Amino acid sequence: MEDYSKLQKIRCFLLDMDGTIFLSDHLLPGAQEFLELLEERGIQFYFLTNNSSRSKVEYAQKLKGFGLNYAEDRIFTSGEATAIYLKKQKPGARLYLVGTPPLEHEMAAYGFGLVQDDPDFAVLGFDMTLTYEKLRKLCGFVRKGVPYIATHPDINCPTKDGFIPDIGAMIELVAASTGRRPDVIVGKPHPPVVEALVEKTGFPVDQLGMIGDRLYTDIALGKAGLTTVLVLTGETKIGDLEQADFHPDYVMENLVSLSAVYRTFPK
């Protein structure tokens, strides 16, 4: 019988969204039931995504469209984590930002100046409004030695029609052109996002659990001491575990399976 003692110790779950709660425009099996079960058991949870192309306001609206009515402060994006990190480094810094309008608004809300020349930091986000000119300017600043920050490392973003290139692919492009990789990557599984999560949730690392579909971001948070649960509803398939660098504490077909396990625990 599998040992679920680690699961029973979790006081706060962090739930990836794309590929875990939903996939593009449909809710994944068991998502609503699992969230209701956590509320019934008095276990805290937050939605955590590496996708910096949308704001937490947009994600709250998307969840509401699925019948999941949760406040914006229950949602934490790599964009917000990056803003928190940069504010600790230099409040009011000048940023050259490669990102979508929602990410631009998020950075501006934290008091940063968005500039085209002489930035304090060059910031690369997941940008579905990407242009060659944006890439050209970014590479120019990176070559000049401007501190270079990426919001997260994901290579692909899952959609209902398959994967589309994410920021990790752009990191490789910039590296091929400039010979430099980001000085700091903020999102899962890197230390800045773990520090921000502990601060935001109020729980120590050993009481946090990460549920997600990606080995190299969600499951790699296990390195920091979080308990990890892999769901097979997104990027990772069971066969991928054989050659994986990161292994989850638990593997579930979907959130239906996880709910079934949770219902065996004493209340």
pLDDT single digits (tens) 60-112 = 999 999 999 999 999 999 999 999 999 999 999 999 999 999 999 999 999 99
Query: What mean pLDDT is predicted for residues 221-241?
Result: 94
**Cα distance between residue 86 and residue 243, in whole Å:** 35
CA angle 54–172–141, rounded 5-degree value: 80
Residue 221 confidence (pLDDT) above 80: yes
- pLDDT higher than 90, residue 185: yes
3-state secondary structure of 13: strand
> What does the mean pLDDT of the chain come to?
94
**Architecture of the domain made up of 88-185:** 3-Layer(aba) Sandwich (3.40)
**Phi, psi (deg, nearest 5) at residue 72:** -60, -30
Provide the residue count of the chain.
267
> CB neighbours (10 Å) of residue 21?
29
- pLDDT, residue 233, reads 93
Q: What pLDDT is stored for residue 199 in this prediction? A: 87
* CATH classification code of 5-50+189-262: 3.40.50.1000
Note the pLDDT tens digit of each residue in 147-181: 999 999 999 887 778 889 999 999 999 999 999 99
Instruction: Calculate mean pLDDT across residues 228-246.
Output: 92
Stretch 8-37: mean pLDDT, rounded? 94
Residue 51 confidence class, pLDDT cut points 50, 70, 90 = confident
The beta-strand segments (E) located in the chain are 12-15, 22-23, 26-27, 44-49, 75-77, 94-98, 113-114, 121-124, 148-150, 156-159, 162-165, 184-185, 208-212, 227-231, 250-252
Domain residues of the chain, as ranges? 5-50+189-262, 88-185
